[in-house]
């Protein structure tokens, strides 16, 4: 089992915590990770563009002029796509669905792969706890400065610590999430991850069970 350093709120190293290889020590699998990431991004996509075809455009259905004898090109409707103000041929419609199905096991495996990658890169920081004496943004900012972290931060709070979200949600380049609700997008869209010991235990408990189910 691998070990990860545990810090106190002053940024001082206090101990080393053993973490399971089933969650933090998996080998790379960029294909699966990319597939799940693309699927999640597609599921967030909204179909906004909506064009009008010739049936949606206002205008008379009368033939503008007779078929022959005028010297002009034949035309059957003023709403034809070739005319200004006419309908759009093969344009995008708002009914288009971009959603992609993600298997539960695939999603869980991708989360553990992303966590393993962050662990290998030394971008996961574990704190003894996230329970501040003063529940103020200033206090949480001091904690981040003591850890000397550069780049964006994702803070994973245990359900027992969810009140502490208020202390971090207004900090720049910092996003908060409950550790039980981690997603591949959350992990990959941030440079660093901060977890408490309780968060690490809950993550290991949840995804170790998932890995056992996938083998069964």
- pLDDT tens for 194-207 read 999 999 999 999 99
Looking at residue 211, what is its pLDDT?
56
Domains of the chain: 2-45+99-215 (3.40.1370.10), 49-97 (no CATH)
- pLDDT tens for 85-102 read 899 999 999 988 999 999
- pLDDT tens for 159-200 read 888 888 999 999 999 999 999 899 999 999 999 999 999 999
Looking at residue 116, what is its pLDDT?
96
Q: What is the pTM of this model?
A: 0.81
* Residue 191 burial (CB count, 10 A): 15
HEC string for 132-194: CCCCCHHHHHHHHHHHCCCCCEEEEECHHHHHHHHHHCCCCCEEEEEHHHCCHHHHHCCCEEE
Looking at residue 4, what is its pLDDT?
93
Question: What mean pLDDT comes out for the span 97-118?
Answer: 94
């Amino acid at each position: 089992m691998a070990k990860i350093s545990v810090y106190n709120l002053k940024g001082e190293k206090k101990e080393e915590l053993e973490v399971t290889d089933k969650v933090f020590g998996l080998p790379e699998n960029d294909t699966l990770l990319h597939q799940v990431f693309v699927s999640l991004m597609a599921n967030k996509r909204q179909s906004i563009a909506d064009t009008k075809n010739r049936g949606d455009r206002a205008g008379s259905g009368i033939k503008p002029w007779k078929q022959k004898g005028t010297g002009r090109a034949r035309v059957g409707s003023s709403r034809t796509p070739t005319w200004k103000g006419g309908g759009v041929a093969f344009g995008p419609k708002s009914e288009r669905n971009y959603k992609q199905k993600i298997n539960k096991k695939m999603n869980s495996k991708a989360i553990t792969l992303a966590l393993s990658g962050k662990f290998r890169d030394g971008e996961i920081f574990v704190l003894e706890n996230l329970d501040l004496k003063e529940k103020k943004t200033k206090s949480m900012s001091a904690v981040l400065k003591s850890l000397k972290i550069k780049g964006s931060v994702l803070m994973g709070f245990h359900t027992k610590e969810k009140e502490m979200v208020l202390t971090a949600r207004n900090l720049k380049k910092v996003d908060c999430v409950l550790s039980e609700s981690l997603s591949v997008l959350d992990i990959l869209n941030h440079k660093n991850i901060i977890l408490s010991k309780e968060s690490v235990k809950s993550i290991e408990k949840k995804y170790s069970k998932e890995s056992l189910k996938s083998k069964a």
